[in-house]
Structure 1
């Protein structure tokens, strides 16, 4: 505490004393000052007072011993990123190499079938051209045999192209589809050739289209190469294919030139094709393999080359038109065929060379990718292992910090706080251990937890002190209100005894009832404060009396209807709390139901005790709200930490506390009328035995800070009335009394007193019945009042007589005996004089006339004044007669305790 008596700041104390927390001593609670905090945990402040980090702290955060530096050294994220990128790149390259290798293998497999297809198609073109010409005729069966060879080549081609199309680029795949479509037309075109409907030009164009499609596919293979060298070599293969195709076309045109002559356009086509195959071979000669160059050289020096080229030159030298042949035609055809085969071999050889080169390139790419990917995985794995090993120490330290913190937060701190809440003393060095995890960032985090737990302990101590003070003030105010209500009820009781004006009596009764409710509200505050507010009964009390007492403490008691009452009694130690519990539920039921409806009370004996149902016809609640309230009733919350809102119903919290105290189960559910049905299950241990029970030990009463209970008890104030145990009129009472008024006996009729009804009360029914005291052990009262509630039901209370008390209730139950009254004992002298000589009945009185009795009701003011004066004198005489003896308890078995 500082010089002004205010608590000093926890942090400033820690900075000033400079003592380590683990060496600090705590005194008894409440302590003089909070424990000190290590100086290294305090954040320096600048001149303006704001928290700043000095340069030394920033430098230390970037130093090699910080967590940040260790994380950078671990390099998990870069290593994983490098591994992902490397695996992706290696996988891509490996996939490319695998695709290249697969494609090269498929091309190499298709090389032989494609070469055979080219050769057979060109030969069929030559034989088909001879067939359509008039001058030449192919050898017998040669064309049929060649067609079979072409069909076999087409089948082989389809087999390899189907597999090739799966890995081929779109350009090559399109060529293969076109080739399939053209070969499908081959049988029909052959029939046209055999029928003679196709001429030489059509034969030339049809077979040229088939060969050109193959050339387009070869060009697509060259363009799809992944390696430049492979693509270059495949383009050389394509040039050799063009040379083969041009040579074949040249000699087909020369055969037509020999047979029927060529026009100028056809002659130019023949010259172009002849120049193409010569030029291509000579152009790519330097780019061919040595084997291919050697084959070309041998072909150029051969005799059949000279024969073939000599015939070509002879035909071309004569120009367009039909000319006679001046050379050996058969030798020329044989030489042309040999040149054709040699060119095909050169094409096939170079295509195989290009395919082998592509396969080698794909294999090399695949191997390189796998090696690179494996190396990258090894490097990344080594980095990850290094990072994991380096981070294992940090992880172990963090796990240790977590375990220590969880142990502290989950076990030690709750136990410590419970001890503080119980008011025990603690030793900070023993009960609040210091978590030490080094001096780096992890250690600073541990120190932060240490500081937090010490702040928590300090805050808990302060909170307990404040809570104890608030609870003391809370209970003090509640006790003061309770004592004030006691005294108010005493004053009202005195005023009621001395008042003779019925209208003033009605107002006093209403004030009496409001004071009773105020006393119950004060007791509710005491219950919420954790204390026992009222007196207890030593002997059992009938459930009927408990229900009547609860109804008496209800604001709108006229709306309550007791339908059925179980024939049981409650133990004395549970009576007061059960009355309070039921009164709170009845208040809720009457407050939230329409004014024209009743609240019904039913009770029955069950296997586990007795059940009391309070059912209203109000608006009800939402299912979610019912669930929340039921949960609160099952587990009452701590009122000291309960968050109160505008809509909070204090009565339900009081019900929850009382139910938990006596193990009573209270359940709210929806009523069939739309309202709420409150079910109260009182356990068997709170019920009295059939033969009665011994008096439970006296639990005493709560201490009142402003009044002496003995003074209150000895002042003439009835403790039973203080508990509000005088039942208010209920619909059940009204029905009983109405039944008695329908058929009164003679004695009751003789003593019937006519009164003027007082002013009608407000709709909430705050009237209070009389509180005359009876020496009997059962509840007895006598009230002169008439109340008409909003629902239209009326309740009239008249002084009870023996005849009325002896009649059975309308529902078959028997009420406790009412006070005995003697005829004309409390009448005014004037009335006694009138009653001494009863009037003789007239002789001519009709048979159905009223029997002889007192004078008929005279509505004159004098008669009313006389009646009320007699009634008041009688009640005063009864009180004075009972003043020589202690006040009897308002409930059977109730005794005052000190």
Structure 2
């Protein structure tokens, strides 16, 4: 698309329009005048050169036709006819010479064709005479009609009205043509009646031809009376008042009423011939006089046209010169004023408004009156009004920008205030749920509490969305690097349909710097939730990873309906360059949050179509977000913070089962064939290890360094719902050896630390920390203290500093034990994987048998109420 024209061009167009119109009008008048002169000249030349010879030829052809009708049939030795033919041939030769001398190109478009038709008719005149003399044209009427055709062509050339269209007396010229046609039809009547007198009879065909000629003569004679000019009208009146015309009309009436079946015609042949020839001579004489008068009139018009065109050309040229001079002077002044206005507009658009918007983004105070001063007045009243209007527009634009910035700032503060309040309530709700989870032993109730825990975690993420939309940063932060695999699992657990998500093992996954852990969890959770929300419920969302040259890439692939290429391009553009938050675009808040989080850490996100016609989101984590080395070592008994994740319905471990010291992972038992729903394909929490031995009446104490075993907890049945299976880890996490507890290092068995059960890091039955993706064997140390601290911080945040876990530890807790570094698991062959799956199935069967034996043992104890521990 071409750029619009500049102001100078538009002004030139405005000024050139009247100039062009004036020049066009002047040219049209000049052209019309020249055309009139040319037309008049051509008309005069034609009438002088061709008109008069054609008229003379018509008169001679009429005489030859009359003599041919009088001549005896089939003989060419009639002396008057022979003499007339010589005269006619002389007129034909003269006409041919005149036609050859006249430039046919100077006439109108039809004149050359008419001239050629006349020449062809004259060429056939000799054959016509031969046919008449040889008796080929037997009836006299045939000879008359043959001559009529030749005369008709000559009359068309004589009556060329187009050549006289510009003559002022065009109507009188039409009258002259009709007057001349009267002579032709009268000549036809005279020839037919002459042949009738010679034959002394009139056939019906002759009668019809006579009546037609008489009728046409009277019609054209009436037209001549209507269109005749003053001179021709005088001749017309004189002709009509004469005795020959009166007798001729009476004779025509008698012949019209004559019964041709009896005798000769009821007229005197000599009288008819005398009257007819007298009228023909008078009509031809008057026609020639009218022709000469028209030629003189054309000459006068030509001279007058010369004078008119000269005056028009001079006056038009003077007007054009004056108009151009005035237009240039006015245009220059107007262009100068508009150029100043244009410079002001450019300065506003390119300098003032960008600086103003940048200042508003920084939060500076802006005075619209100072930022939008008025422009200098213009010299022209109209331009000055435009300047004033533009000044008002500029003030309005500045005020609107300030108002929009204030509105966005207010909306952001509202979002931030609501989000902070929701976060405080959600943290308190999470603490309350933790307390309830530690107090409840029933599996069904505990499962519902875990579901509430999960929903609360999702609500916390939505509250953080409001914080991000307001331009702030969530309060959750991490100091140390966290394994990226744990970060991805934590993100998946914040999704409602986490059971539909499959995370491919990441043996080469690096560590993520602590400053980006929370935002990456939030970012991946939004992408995974979008993938599960816009894909069929019976499909799986896959999360894969791979090492890239400039970082580490994650792929979130769904199998939904997908997006068209135009929508993908639009979304990728928004992800690459996040726009300002628009309240009207509320249906894509997740996209805006993801784009803003990615821009904050330099993460590149792109969307493309997946091979399954769904959508694949590629998250490229830059190298600066990846930490060097393995998992950071921590002191003995100190729990490394892990990403906060959604609290899910965790499986309840069979009470009484002791911890396992084996380094191999222990898998939960598989469901019986055909019994219960199929277990989910992936869960993002650590399932409780299945008991290897029948449950004991005295619960086993998990290994702890400074805490004594908790109160004995009455065992209960294993939940009847299917236990979600845990995804195969990339490498088993070895259990941490712990020294036996001593009486000096912790509270008594009747008083656990902080008053909370010590069955896990925060009292969860599976030993996983609250809101963490997994629970390591050594992560339960000091878990109760930290949970209590978190609950205390959540219960009261008004004015008190937030407590950071593990900042003030006792020296005894800072042991030198270190968590072993993770190593990448070697790739297994298909045969090894088959053996591993077979071993897992055998373990599941053995675990189910042991669980059934433990259930039978507990049922037997239910028969003796005294054997139950008292609460």
Equivalent residue, structure 2, for 1:15: none
Name stretches of at least 5 consecutive residues in structure 2 with no aligned partner: 1-10, 215-223, 233-266, 271-276, 652-659, 690-701, 706-715, 743-758, 770-776, 791-803, 809-871
Task: Give the conservation status (yes or no) of the 8 Å contact 1:666–1:679.
Answer: yes
Say which SS state the counterpart of residue 555 (structure 2) adopts: strand
Q: Does 1:584 align with 2:535?
A: no
Task: Give the conservation status (yes or no) of the 8 Å contact 1:615–1:677.
Answer: yes
Check 1:217–1:631 CA distance in 2 against 1; reply closer, same or farther (3 A cut): same
Task: Give the conservation status (yes or no) of the 8 Å contact 1:718–1:887.
Answer: no
Task: Give the conservation status (yes or no) of the 8 Å contact 2:603–2:620.
Answer: yes
Check 1:683–1:363 CA distance in 2 against 1; reply closer, same or farther (3 A cut): farther
Residues in 2 aligned to 1:785 and 1:586: alpha-carbon distance in whole angstroms: 35
Check 1:480–1:188 CA distance in 2 against 1; reply closer, same or farther (3 A cut): same
Task: Give the conservation status (yes or no) of the 8 Å contact 1:523–1:534.
Answer: no
Equivalent residue, structure 2, for 1:816: 733
Check 1:610–1:102 CA distance in 2 against 1; reply closer, same or farther (3 A cut): farther
Residues in 2 aligned to 1:753 and 1:810: alpha-carbon distance in whole angstroms: 14
Equivalent residue, structure 1, for 2:713: none
After TM superposition, the structure 1 = structure 2 runs for residues 464-543 of structure 1, keeping only pairs within 5 Å, are 464-465=405-406, 467-543=408-484
Structure 1 window deviating more from structure 2 (534-543 vs 145-154): it is: 145-154
Equivalent residue, structure 1, for 2:375: 435
Q: Does 1:548 align with 2:448?
A: no
Q: Does 1:679 align with 2:618?
A: yes
Kindly state the Cα deviation for residue 605 of structure 1 after the two structures are TM-superposed.
2.0
Q: Does 1:660 align with 2:594?
A: no
Equivalent residue, structure 1, for 2:724: 795
Residues in 2 aligned to 1:392 and 1:595: alpha-carbon distance in whole angstroms: 73
Name stretches of at least 5 consecutive residues in structure 1 with no aligned partner: 1-70, 273-279, 289-318, 323-335, 696-715, 731-743, 777-783, 798-808, 826-865
Task: Give the conservation status (yes or no) of the 8 Å contact 2:668–2:723.
Answer: no
Equivalent residue, structure 1, for 2:576: 634
Structure 2 residue corresponding to 1:103, chosen from 43, 47, 52? 43
Residues in 1 aligned to 2:174 and 2:59: alpha-carbon distance in whole angstroms: 19
What is the CA deviation profile of residues 453-483 of structure 1, one whole-angstrom value per residue up to 9, with x for unaligned ones? 4455455455545544443343233233323
Residues in 2 aligned to 1:234 and 1:759: alpha-carbon distance in whole angstroms: 114
Q: How many residues align?
A: 662
Structure 1 window deviating more from structure 2 (385-394 vs 494-503): it is: 385-394
Kindly state the Cα deviation for residue 547 of structure 1 after the two structures are TM-superposed.
1.6
Structure 1 window deviating more from structure 2 (148-157 vs 579-588): it is: 148-157
Equivalent residue, structure 1, for 2:845: none
Task: Give the conservation status (yes or no) of the 8 Å contact 2:553–2:619.
Answer: yes
Task: Give the conservation status (yes or no) of the 8 Å contact 2:686–2:766.
Answer: no
Residues in 2 aligned to 1:512 and 1:202: alpha-carbon distance in whole angstroms: 123
Say which SS state the counterpart of residue 679 (structure 1) adopts: strand
Kindly state the Cα deviation for residue 566 of structure 1 after the two structures are TM-superposed.
5.6
Equivalent residue, structure 2, for 1:735: none
Structure 1 residue corresponding to 2:541, chosen from 580, 599, 615? 599
Residues in 1 aligned to 2:465 and 2:333: alpha-carbon distance in whole angstroms: 59
Kindly state the Cα deviation for residue 650 of structure 1 after the two structures are TM-superposed.
2.4
Equivalent residue, structure 1, for 2:560: 618
Say which SS state the counterpart of residue 637 (structure 1) adopts: coil
Check 1:181–1:728 CA distance in 2 against 1; reply closer, same or farther (3 A cut): farther
Task: Give the conservation status (yes or no) of the 8 Å contact 2:688–2:766.
Answer: no
What is the CA deviation profile of residues 355-411 of structure 1, one whole-angstrom value per residue up to 9, with x for unaligned ones? 354255246336525643652464366346435534543443233223213322332
Residues in 1 aligned to 2:766 and 2:494: alpha-carbon distance in whole angstroms: 28
Structure 1 window deviating more from structure 2 (199-208 vs 556-565): it is: 199-208
Say which SS state the counterpart of residue 561 (structure 1) adopts: strand
What is the CA deviation profile of residues 696-732 of structure 1, one whole-angstrom value per residue up to 9, with x for unaligned ones? xxxxxxxxxxxxxxxxxxxx998946722889989xx
Kindly state the Cα deviation for residue 656 of structure 1 after the two structures are TM-superposed.
0.8
What is the CA deviation profile of residues 659-702 of structure 1, one whole-angstrom value per residue up to 9, with x for unaligned ones? 1122222223333434332222223333334x46999xxxxxxx
Kindly state the Cα deviation for residue 617 of structure 1 after the two structures are TM-superposed.
2.6
Task: Give the conservation status (yes or no) of the 8 Å contact 1:436–1:447.
Answer: no
Task: Give the conservation status (yes or no) of the 8 Å contact 1:99–1:167.
Answer: no
Equivalent residue, structure 2, for 1:291: none
Structure 1 window deviating more from structure 2 (484-493 vs 648-657): it is: 484-493
Check 1:775–1:562 CA distance in 2 against 1; reply closer, same or farther (3 A cut): farther
Kindly state the Cα deviation for residue 435 of structure 1 after the two structures are TM-superposed.
0.8
Equivalent residue, structure 2, for 1:862: none
Task: Give the conservation status (yes or no) of the 8 Å contact 1:513–1:553.
Answer: yes
Check 1:769–1:521 CA distance in 2 against 1; reply closer, same or farther (3 A cut): farther
Task: Give the conservation status (yes or no) of the 8 Å contact 1:224–1:231.
Answer: no
Kindly state the Cα deviation for residue 622 of structure 1 after the two structures are TM-superposed.
5.2
Structure 2 residue corresponding to 1:446, chosen from 378, 381, 387? 387
Residues in 2 aligned to 1:617 and 1:212: alpha-carbon distance in whole angstroms: 92
Task: Give the conservation status (yes or no) of the 8 Å contact 2:663–2:733.
Answer: no
Equivalent residue, structure 2, for 1:849: none
Kindly state the Cα deviation for residue 567 of structure 1 after the two structures are TM-superposed.
0.8
Check 1:729–1:148 CA distance in 2 against 1; reply closer, same or farther (3 A cut): farther
Equivalent residue, structure 2, for 1:296: none
Equivalent residue, structure 1, for 2:346: 406
Equivalent residue, structure 1, for 2:709: none
Residues in 1 aligned to 2:187 and 2:643: alpha-carbon distance in whole angstroms: 134
Check 1:137–1:642 CA distance in 2 against 1; reply closer, same or farther (3 A cut): same
Residues in 1 aligned to 2:614 and 2:766: alpha-carbon distance in whole angstroms: 47
Check 1:358–1:602 CA distance in 2 against 1; reply closer, same or farther (3 A cut): same
Task: Give the conservation status (yes or no) of the 8 Å contact 1:630–1:668.
Answer: yes
Residues in 2 aligned to 1:526 and 1:590: alpha-carbon distance in whole angstroms: 24
Residues in 2 aligned to 1:871 and 1:475: alpha-carbon distance in whole angstroms: 32
Say which SS state the counterpart of residue 795 (structure 1) adopts: coil
Greater length-normalized contact order (CA 8 Å, ≥ 6 residues apart) = 1
Equivalent residue, structure 1, for 2:836: none
What is the CA deviation profile of residues 250-279 of structure 1, one whole-angstrom value per residue up to 9, with x for unaligned ones? 99999999x99999x99x99xx9xxxxxxx
Kindly state the Cα deviation for residue 883 of structure 1 after the two structures are TM-superposed.
6.3
Q: What is the Cα-based RMSD across aligned positions, in Å?
A: 6.5
Residues in 2 aligned to 1:603 and 1:765: alpha-carbon distance in whole angstroms: 17
Task: Give the conservation status (yes or no) of the 8 Å contact 2:450–2:648.
Answer: no
Residues in 2 aligned to 1:692 and 1:615: alpha-carbon distance in whole angstroms: 28
Calculate the TM-score normalised by the size of structure 1. 0.57
Q: Does 1:643 align with 2:584?
A: yes
Residues in 1 aligned to 2:106 and 2:588: alpha-carbon distance in whole angstroms: 85
What is the CA deviation profile of residues 53-80 of structure 1, one whole-angstrom value per residue up to 9, with x for unaligned ones? xxxxxxxxxxxxxxxxxx9xx9999888
After TM superposition, the structure 1 = structure 2 runs for residues 44-63 of structure 1, keeping only pairs within 5 Å, are none
What is the CA deviation profile of residues 388-446 of structure 1, one whole-angstrom value per residue up to 9, with x for unaligned ones? 53454344323322321332233212212322432346687875443121584543443
Task: Give the conservation status (yes or no) of the 8 Å contact 1:571–1:688.
Answer: yes
Residues in 2 aligned to 1:557 and 1:529: alpha-carbon distance in whole angstroms: 28
Say which SS state the counterpart of residue 99 (structure 1) adopts: helix
Equivalent residue, structure 2, for 1:724: 645
Kindly state the Cα deviation for residue 614 of structure 1 after the two structures are TM-superposed.
1.4
What is the CA deviation profile of residues 486-519 of structure 1, one whole-angstrom value per residue up to 9, with x for unaligned ones? 3333333333334333223222222222222222
Residues in 1 aligned to 2:374 and 2:78: alpha-carbon distance in whole angstroms: 115
